[in-house]
């Protein structure tokens, strides 16, 4: 099937190269909602450009529509009142003025001092950095579990836990061997499972189970429990071993993710999609500012949402702007819901607004979501999982149903296959600008695609009876444009970054 897929795509590429490429430069609309009256008709081929002047970009460099102020107030002339000649500066007045100034300076100084204490002591690890215990020293996620002790007490190398592959195999990093090892099921129990989940950033109340699964290859070795170690941290109880008497490994489920009421059947092949039903995409959320839908997002825990970094870049980077709505299909119904306030916004520290690499961000909610049939998390793709070209995925969101149109009142979804990055990077498509942090999905002939207002929303696939988050909606040329498929953040390369930030910000 894969060989046939490649042949078909190569045939399409030959057709592209034979045609004269007279399209205008790329124009990206997968960002927020832009009202229809902002754009005027484009020349040729049905394209439309915004009515305001935008900075010049080379034809192959991705960019977004800049925000435009919709209201400009006219300044009111200031009338200068003439000073009264009768005003006199007596010693008593001077004394009062000096006293007021002294009090003001003291108050300002106290405020600055309080801020500095808060910044350097209470919340010294800004952005996505991770605090080393109570020392106040911060390390970046890339320095966590890399075999080098960056924290004074080695905390960055002590709680290195992850889940591997679609079977959720528990693996622990050995700073001595500088490698990841599966955990033997000998003497394992649910309490150890809850501790391991907490080490990854989950709350123990979402814990599901620890199960034993057989292993095929024992050549690498294991991590085993040392029961005589007493009541100490889990990572101190684990040691390297070449023997596992149960011949089984720990499969750990920290959260009941990837469940949906959707029936897997093809529908008419958001642009070119169909309206969703309650429970189809229970992880989908609407991210709103001042009651207006701007972006989508995906639930991964009761407190954490995955979205795109460009959604929170610039003006709306502060958490107080945002309100999150879950379990509601129609935008008008969200007016009568309070939604959930955001406590923290964490964009990827290496997000580049020019190339759109690392276009992913996390939002932590002030209060946890209550899961039910219509509000559920999607599964994060574990390290070791690979998604091949041609894999069927689904996109969902309240984005525009056509290029330049209004956002949809109803949640829509569509099927899109993954596209080989070599094909997407062809000079007649995206000309080498698809980086490893990105995934292409859609149809080279267009007609089905994400659009403005879908940004940050999920690209999911169904595997091993679960739904997995493959990507977040990032950018693309127009909407459903021929030879310009949608581009998504590659969540498979961000999973460990997500876990590190969940761990660092766990209550």
Tokens of residue 281, six digits: 């995409």
Question: Among candidates 344, 306, 302, which has minimal Cα distance to 327?
Answer: 302
φ, ψ of residue 70 in degrees (nearest 5): -95, 0
Q: How many CB atoms lie within 10 A of CB 422?
A: 12
**Exactly one of 186, 199, 280, 359 is catalytic; which is it?**
359
Report whether 324 contacts 295 (CB < 8 A): no
Which pLDDT tens digits describe the chain residue by residue (507 residues)?
A: 444 344 444 454 444 444 434 433 333 334 443 333 333 322 233 322 233 233 333 334 444 333 323 333 334 344 444 444 444 566 777 778 878 888 888 888 777 766 555 444 444 465 556 767 656 678 776 677 777 778 877 777 767 899 999 999 999 988 777 889 999 999 999 999 999 999 899 998 999 999 999 987 767 789 999 888 766 778 778 888 888 999 999 999 999 999 998 876 544 437 777 888 999 999 999 999 999 999 999 999 999 999 999 999 988 999 999 999 999 999 999 998 989 999 999 999 999 999 999 999 999 999 999 999 999 999 999 999 989 999 999 999 999 888 877 889 999 999 999 999 999 999 999 999 999 999 999 999 888 888 888 999 999 999 999 999 999 999 988 888 889 999 999 999 999 899 988 988 876
Predicted local confidence at residue 114, as pLDDT: 61
User: Which of 223, 107, 247 is CA-nearest to residue 171?
Assistant: 223
CA distance 281 to 258: 10
How many angstroms from the chain centroid is the CA of residue 31?
14
Among this protein's residues, is 455 annotated catalytic?
yes
Q: What is the pLDDT of residue 122?
A: 42
Residue 6: what pLDDT? 45
One of 310, 340, 348, 433 is an active-site residue; which one? 310
The confidence score (pLDDT) of residue 127 equals 52
DSSP letters for 285-304:
EEEEETTEEEEEEEESSSSE
State how far the Cα of 275 lies from the Cα of 409, in Å rounded to an integer. Answer: 10
From residue 190, give the alpha-carbon distance in Å to each of 136, 168, 196, 211, 277. 32, 15, 10, 9, 36
Distance CA 426, CA 467 (A): 30
pLDDT at 89: 60
pLDDT value for 450: 86
Catalytic: 260?
A: no
CA distance 139 to 152: 11
- Return the pLDDT at 73: 35
Structure tokens at 11: 């045939």
Q: Which of 128, 298, 450, 455 is catalytic?
A: 455
Q: For residues 333 and 335, what is the distance between their CA atoms, to the nearest angstrom? A: 5
Q: What is the DSSP letter of 478?
A: B
Residues 6+ positions from 195 with CB-CB distance below 8 Å: 234
Closest CA to 24 of 487, 447, 486, 481: 481
Q: In the structure, how many helices (H) and strands (E) does the chain have?
A: 7, 24
Measure the CA–CA gap between 162 and 141, rounded to whole angstroms.
Answer: 14
- Do 501 and 201 contact (CB within 8 A), yes or no? yes
Three-point CA angle 269, 273, 277, nearest 5°: 115
Q: How far apart are CA 454 and CA 418, in angstroms?
A: 18
Report the predicted TM-score, pTM, of the whole model to 2 decimal places.
0.75
Active site residue 54: no
């Amino acid at each position: 099937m894969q060989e046939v897929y490649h042949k078909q795509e190569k045939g399409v590429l030959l057709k592209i190269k034979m045609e004269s490429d007279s399209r205008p430069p790329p124009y990206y609309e997968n960002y927020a909602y832009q009202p229809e009256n902002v754009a005027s008709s484009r020349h040729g081929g049905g394209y439309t450009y915004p009515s305001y002047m935008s900075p010049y970009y080379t034809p192959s460099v991705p960019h977004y529509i800049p925000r435009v102020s919709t209201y400009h107030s006219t300044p009111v002339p200031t009338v200068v009142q003439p000073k009264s000649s009768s005003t006199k500066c007596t010693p008593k007045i001077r004394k009062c003025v000096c006293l007021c100034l002294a009090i003001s300076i003291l108050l300002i100084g106290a405020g600055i001092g309080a801020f500095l204490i808060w910044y350097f002591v209470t919340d010294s690890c800004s952005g996505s950095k991770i605090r080393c215990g109570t020392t106040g020293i911060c390390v970046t996620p890339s320095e966590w579990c890399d075999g080098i002790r960056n924290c004074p007490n080695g905390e960055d190398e002590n709680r290195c836990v992850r889940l591997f592959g679609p079977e959720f195999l528990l693996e622990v990093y050995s700073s001595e061997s500088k490698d990841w090892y599966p955990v033997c099921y000998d003497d394992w129990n649910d309490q150890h499972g809850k501790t391991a989940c907490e080490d990854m950033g989950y709350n123990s109340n979402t814990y599901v189970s620890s199960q034993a699964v057989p292993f095929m290859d024992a050549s690498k070795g294991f991590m085993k429990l040392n029961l005589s170690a007493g009541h100490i941290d889990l990572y101190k109880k684990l040691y390297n071993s070449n023997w596992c008497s149960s011949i089984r490994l720990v499969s750990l489920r920290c959260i009941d993710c990837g469940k949906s009421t959707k029936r897997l059947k093809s529908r008419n092949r958001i642009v070119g999609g169909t309206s969703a039903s309650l429970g189809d995409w229970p992880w989908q959320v609407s991210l709103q500012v001042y009651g207006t839908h701007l972006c989508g997002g995906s639930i991964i825990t009761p407190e954490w949402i995955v979205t795109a970094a460009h959604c929170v870049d610039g003006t709306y980077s502060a958490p107080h702007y945002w309100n999150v709505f879950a379990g509601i299909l129609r935008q008008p119904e969200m007016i009568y819901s309070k939604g959930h306030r955001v406590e923290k916004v964490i964009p990827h520290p290496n997000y580049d607004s020019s190339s759109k690499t690392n276009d992913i961000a996390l939002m932590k909610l002030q209060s946890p979501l209550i899961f039910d049939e219509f509000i559920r998390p999607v599964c994060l793709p574990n390290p070791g999982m690979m998604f091949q070209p041609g894999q069927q995925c689904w996109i969902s969101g309240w984005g525009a149903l056509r290029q330049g149109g209004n956002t949809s009142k109803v949640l829509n979804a569509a099927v899109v296959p993954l596209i080989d990055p070599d094909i997407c990077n062809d000079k007649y498509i995206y000309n080498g600008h698809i980086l490893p942090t990105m995934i292409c999905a859609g149809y080279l002939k267009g007609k089905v695609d994400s659009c403005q207002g879908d940004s940050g929303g999920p690209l999911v696939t169904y595997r091993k009876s679960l739904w997995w988050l493959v990507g977040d909606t990032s950018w693309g040329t127009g909407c459903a444009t021929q030879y310009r498929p949608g581009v998504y953040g590659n969540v498979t390369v961000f999973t460990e970054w997500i876990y590190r930030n969940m761990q660092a910000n766990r209550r």
